[in-house]
Chains A and B, each alone.
Chain A
Amino acid sequence: MSETETKHSTSIRDTSLNVQKVDLKPKRWGMIVDQRRCIGCHSCTVACKSENNVPLGYWRSWVKGIQKGDFPKAGNMFLRRLCNQCDSPPCVQVCPVQATVRRPEDGVVIMYYGKCIGCGMCIAACPYDARFFNPIRNTADKCDFCASRIDNGLEPACVEACVSKALIFGDVDDPNSEIFDILATVPTSVIKPELGTKPKVFYIQADHSLKGRIQFSEDFKEAIIDYRKSIPSPDATYWETRDQK
């Protein structure tokens, strides 16, 4: 009888120790996008939209596609884009009302929609163009690693939906996690490291032409206009004009 009692008390002590441990060591959620495995199916985009109820014509995360070379020496490449969950986020720096913050307990950059005044400064300041105005909520909106899911022990919707296990999600600081293992052994890169934003979304084998830098050419004006016109994915204006008809 007494033995079970002592067992019981130690187990309680153990859990309290565990809780303390969690408090002492904050998590740092991160994601690896393995471009070798990505087949460009856009499942992550669709899963993200349905999970977060993102309005038509707007995306929290998407897949960027490029084509390199000429037939027969040509290749299609994909870059899975989402908020990079920077450790030094430019959007948090500029927000005048602290409506967007980097959560200290897990490093995820989240939005407080009730605080946001919709000034657009964070959208202008994001180097990854990952933010947008949600036309229904009328505030800024962004990918938050599905904060409501990861708080309840689930993986983000895109990671769960990925057909080829190209997305790996986990605690970057936890030595027992898969993501820690891969970051230590496989060469990875981030987008725009020179800005010092310290992103926590890492890419394996992402081509530099995918990463959003302007290619150098003499006719910039035309190149940029072509760039904008050459994007067939329906943007917000597409839906607006469709509704008017």
Chain B
Amino acid sequence: MEASVLYNVPHDIPWKVFIPLYFYFTGLSAGSFILSTLSTVFGIKRFKPMALPAAIISFLLLLLAPACLIVDLQQPTRFWHTLVPEYFNPTSALSYGSWLLTLYPIANLIYIYFIYVKNDRVTKIIGTMTVPLAIFVHAYTGFAFALVRARAWWHSALMPGFFLTSALLSGIALLVLVAMIMDRLRSEKLELDLYKSLRIMMIGILLTDLFWTGSFWLTLLVSNSDGHASILLALHETFYLWGEIFAGMLIPLAILVYPRTGNNKIWLSFASVLIICGVFLMRYSVVFIGFDIPLS
């Protein structure tokens, strides 16, 4: 039977655009850090020239990310409460996250120092210890959503994985742009093999992201009424369907897969820009489509 709401009290969305921006910056940071460790820890020599710039970008983004979080607080001067051991909440992803966000930039800075002084042995040790930190820093943001059972759009075991892969994707795309700029500025050119392997990595991760997205759609379509409503609502959103999925995933994938455009530097950087914007839209849609379903 049809029922219409006469009156009700909806509460405001507690978050502003700083929250998706924060996820985006930590994602970019973790992604570029992992790319930096490819040569220093995993010993893939081809990525050697990228190690230092990637690590520096990762550190700079890490200064921006917590700033976004603190700006979004209603009581910004109390941010240090999250680091008081007595207040630590073992069931809260945010509690772990605030510690990770404190430890990771410090480890990152030490790592940058040892790359800078070209001490390969110590760099490898520090890098090996920092890689799990980088992964956890980003995975925890996925858990912050996955552990909210109230909202069907967030409550999914795929969330941490999706966040990690898209973090890596945005990190690689940013590094492609940085490599282009380095090529322009420096006298010694980067080898073309580097671009090729970055391109293949981007294709692989884009396909993984599309797989995650498809899994989300299918499971939500046959989920409970909240889940079903959120996927139908998401497919109506222009920024989700046309922005994130079409412009942020399918078009870059087509550009990268097609050899003539994939090997062209201008097309490659265009695809990277699209990917970087698409990953931001992914963060944005995860956060705000979750709030579209009224709960009261």
Chain A positions near chain B (C-beta within 8 angstroms): 58-59, 62-69, 76, 81, 90, 92-99, 115-121, 123-133, 138-140, 194-196, 207, 209-210, 212-216, 220-221, 224, 227-228, 230-233, 235-236
Q: Mark B228-254, 1 if CB is under 8 A from A, else 0.
A: 110011001000000000000000000
Contact present for B98 and A118 (CB under 8 Å) = no
In angstroms, how far is the closest chain B Cβ from the Cβ of A102? Answer: 12
Contact present for A124 and B15 (CB under 8 Å) = yes
In the bound complex, CA of A228 to CA of B13 (Å) = 13
Name B281-296 residues within 8 Å CB distance of A. Answer: 290-296
Contact present for B149 and A221 (CB under 8 Å) = no
A139 touches which of B2, B75, B229 (Cβ 8 Å): B75
Contact present for B232 and A221 (CB under 8 Å) = yes
Please tell me if B11 contacts chain A, counting CB pairs below 8 Å: yes
In angstroms, how far is the closest chain B Cβ from the Cβ of A209? Answer: 4
Given contacts A64-B7, A67-B6, A128-B296, contact A118 B228 (CB under 8 A): no
29 residue pairs bridging A and B, Cβ less than 8 Å apart: A62-B9, A64-B296, A66-B4, A66-B5, A90-B150, A94-B91, A94-B94, A96-B94, A97-B95, A115-B78, A115-B81, A117-B73, A118-B75, A118-B78, A119-B72, A124-B148, A124-B151, A129-B11, A132-B12, A133-B74, A139-B74, A209-B1, A212-B296, A213-B225, A216-B225, A224-B292, A230-B4, A232-B6, A235-B12
Contact present for A93 and B92 (CB under 8 Å) = yes
Residues of B within 8 A of A120 (CB): 14-15, 72, 74
Residues of B within 8 A of A98 (CB): 87-89
Contact present for A95 and B92 (CB under 8 Å) = yes
Interface of B: prevailing SS: loop
Taking A64-B9, A65-B8, A129-B294 as known contacts, 19 extra A-B pairs with beta carbons closer than 8 A to each other, sorted by chain A number, are: A62-B9, A65-B7, A67-B4, A92-B91, A94-B93, A95-B92, A97-B84, A117-B82, A118-B75, A123-B11, A124-B15, A125-B148, A131-B11, A209-B1, A209-B3, A216-B225, A220-B229, A224-B229, A224-B293
Q: Mark B9-41, 1 if CB is under 8 A from A, else 0.
A: 111101100000000000000000000000000
Residues of A within 8 A of B224 (CB): 194
Please tell me if B144 contacts chain A, counting CB pairs below 8 Å: yes
**Nearest CB to that of A235 among chain B residues?**
B10
Residues of A within 8 A of B1 (CB): 68-69, 209
Please tell me if B177 contacts chain A, counting CB pairs below 8 Å: no
In the bound complex, CA of A140 to CA of B9 (Å) = 16
Given contacts A117-B81, A120-B74, A214-B225, contact A127 B294 (CB under 8 A): no
Contact present for B9 and A235 (CB under 8 Å) = yes
Please tell me if B147 contacts chain A, counting CB pairs below 8 Å: yes
A118 touches which of B3, B7, B74, B84 (Cβ 8 Å): B74
What total count of A-B pairs have CB within 8 Å? 183
In the bound complex, CA of A93 to CA of B233 (Å) = 28
Contact present for A97 and B7 (CB under 8 Å) = no
Contact present for B292 and A59 (CB under 8 Å) = no
Residues of B within 8 A of A69 (CB): 1-2
B295 touches which of A58, A129, A140, A235 (Cβ 8 Å): A129
In the bound complex, CA of A127 to CA of B296 (Å) = 8
Name B66-91 residues within 8 Å CB distance of A. Answer: 69, 72-75, 78-79, 81-82, 84, 87-89, 91
A81 touches which of B9, B94, B151 (Cβ 8 Å): B9
Given contacts A69-B1, A117-B82, A213-B226, contact A129 B6 (CB under 8 A): no
Residues of B within 8 A of A209 (CB): 1, 3
**Nearest CB to that of A65 among chain B residues?**
B6
In the bound complex, CA of A216 to CA of B232 (Å) = 11
Residues of B within 8 A of A59 (CB): 9
Contact present for B295 and A127 (CB under 8 Å) = yes
Residues of A within 8 A of B84 (CB): 97
Given contacts A116-B75, A124-B291, contact A97 B89 (CB under 8 A): yes
**Nearest CB to that of B294 among chain A residues?**
A227
Residues of B within 8 A of A93 (CB): 91-92, 147
What 9 A-B pairs are tightest by C-beta distance, nearest first? A118-B74, A120-B14, A127-B150, A129-B296, A96-B94, A209-B3, A65-B6, A123-B14, A132-B11
Residues of A within 8 A of B7 (CB): 63-65, 231-233
In angstroms, how far is the closest chain B Cβ from the Cβ of A142? Answer: 10
Residues of B within 8 A of A227 (CB): 5, 294
Contact present for A129 and B10 (CB under 8 Å) = yes
Residues of A within 8 A of B229 (CB): 214, 220, 224
Given contacts A117-B82, A227-B5, contact A126 B236 (CB under 8 A): no
**Nearest CB to that of B148 among chain A residues?**
A125
In angstroms, how far is the closest chain A Cβ from the Cβ of B96? Answer: 9
In angstroms, how far is the closest chain A Cβ from the Cβ of B220? Answer: 12
In angstroms, how far is the closest chain B Cβ from the Cβ of A177? Answer: 29
In the bound complex, CA of A123 to CA of B10 (Å) = 12
Contact present for B95 and A220 (CB under 8 Å) = no
In angstroms, how far is the closest chain B Cβ from the Cβ of A153? Answer: 30
